[in-house]
């Protein structure tokens, strides 16, 4: 039986205007458009995947961009931000880059052992650039750094992460508790007096962890079920397979397989709108409903 989660797979958030979302994450942040597809559960909405040029798990931030969506309400039961690791010498460059692009940027601030900047994307999602990678001539984003969970009952969430997913306490600072399992870092932010979050544009929808293959995913499904959490069946997401469940504080978790990967339907990632086989017969009507974008 698996003992601990190995790493983050991706983070998924709600965006606003699709074109502004695309432009911010590719032109400003420099991420690669790994996949332009639709929300398989709501094909009238895009699903954009951003990450490294090969779409490697652990680099991916994905979006459901909703045109004219209202802003969400921050609070407990949500993941707080999209957090990326950048080289330790990169922050001064990013400050100037944000200033030149007219992007809202705060910091640098210090969190535990690292400095970070916080940017706001066009829908208001906080994007954290955490100086935690070795110094480099490149200032580019390297990977996802961590996920921060906002919790009314931090101890209950920590207990679940520790007993079920194999996380260990590695640091504490104020109301922030840092946990680690393999290469996966999760911070728990204790907010006992905060109101409950209301998810919408500019907020994280779920946090996904990696399963190396189908067999490991099934093991995780059984372990989560035995811990008393309602967990979905295995769902085919074409580029990986997924199971979903909520941790005790309400944040939606996913465990996704590494394969089959994003090259299964195009040799050049992000080259056009891709649909799964069960939606391909509806392509004409889907394209008619989606707002046009330039990728």
For 32-71, the pLDDT digits (tens) are 999 999 999 999 999 999 999 999 999 999 999 998 888 8
- For tokens 């909520």, the residue is 246
Is the pLDDT score of 81 beyond 90? Answer: yes
- Give the β-pairing of 32-39 and 42-51: antiparallel
By CB atoms closer than 10 A (0-12, 13-18, 19+), residue 250 is: middle
Model pLDDT, residue 3: 84
DSSP type of residue 239: S
Write out pLDDT tens, residues 143-153: 999 999 999 99
CATH number for the domain formed by residue range(s) 8-289: 3.10.180.10
Is the pLDDT score of 1 beyond 80? Answer: no
Contact predicate 293/272, CB 8 Å: no
Contacts 24+ apart (CB under 8 A), 227-236: 227/160, 227/163, 227/164, 229/160, 229/164, 236/276
Burial 22-39 (b: 16+ CB within 10 A, else e): bbbbbebbebbbbbbbbb
- Residue 248's pLDDT band, with cuts at 50, 70 and 90, is very high
Dihedral angle at the C-alpha atoms of 228, 183, 80, 176, nearest 10 degrees? Answer: 90
CA atoms of 256 and 78, how far apart (whole Å): 19
Side-chain-side CA neighbours of 48 within 13 Å: the count stands at: 27
């Amino acid at each position: 039986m698996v003992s601990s989660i190995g790493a983050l797979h991706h983070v998924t958030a709600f965006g606003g205007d699709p074109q502004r979302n695309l432009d911010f994450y590719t032109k400003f942040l420099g991420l690669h458009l790994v996949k332009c597809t639709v929300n398989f559960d709501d094909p009238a909405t895009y699903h954009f995947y951003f990450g490294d040029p090969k779409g490697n798990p652990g680099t991916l931030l994905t979006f459901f961009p909703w045109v004219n969506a209202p802003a969400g309400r921050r609070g407990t039961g949500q993941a707080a931000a999209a957090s990326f690791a950048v080289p330790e010498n990169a922050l001064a460059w990013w400050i100037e880059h944000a200033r030149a692009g007219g992007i809202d940027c705060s910091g640098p601030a210090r969190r535990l052992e690292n400095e970070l900047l916080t940017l706001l994307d066009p829908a208001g999602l906080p994007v954290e650039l955490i100086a935690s990678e070795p110094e480099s001539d490149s200032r580019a984003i390297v990977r996802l750094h961590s996920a921060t969970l906002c919790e009314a009952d931090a101890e209950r969430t920590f207990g679940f992460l520790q007993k079920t997913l194999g996380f260990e306490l590695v640091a504490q600072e104020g109301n922030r508790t840092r946990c680690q399992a393999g290469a996966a870092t999760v911070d728990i932010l204790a907010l006992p007096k905060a109101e409950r979050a209301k998810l919408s544009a500019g907020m994280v929808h779920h946090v996904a962890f990696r399963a190396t293959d189908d067999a490991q995913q099934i093991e995780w499904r059984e372990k989560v079920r035995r811990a008393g959490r309602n967990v979905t069946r295995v769902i085919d997401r074409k580029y990986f397979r997924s199971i979903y469940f909520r941790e005790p504080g309400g944040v939606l978790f996913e465990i996704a397989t590494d394969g089959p990967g994003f090259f299964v339907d195009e040799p050049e990632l992000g080259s056009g709108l891709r649909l799964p086989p069960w939606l391909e017969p509806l392509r004409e009507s889907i394209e008619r409903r989606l707002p046009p974008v330039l990728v």
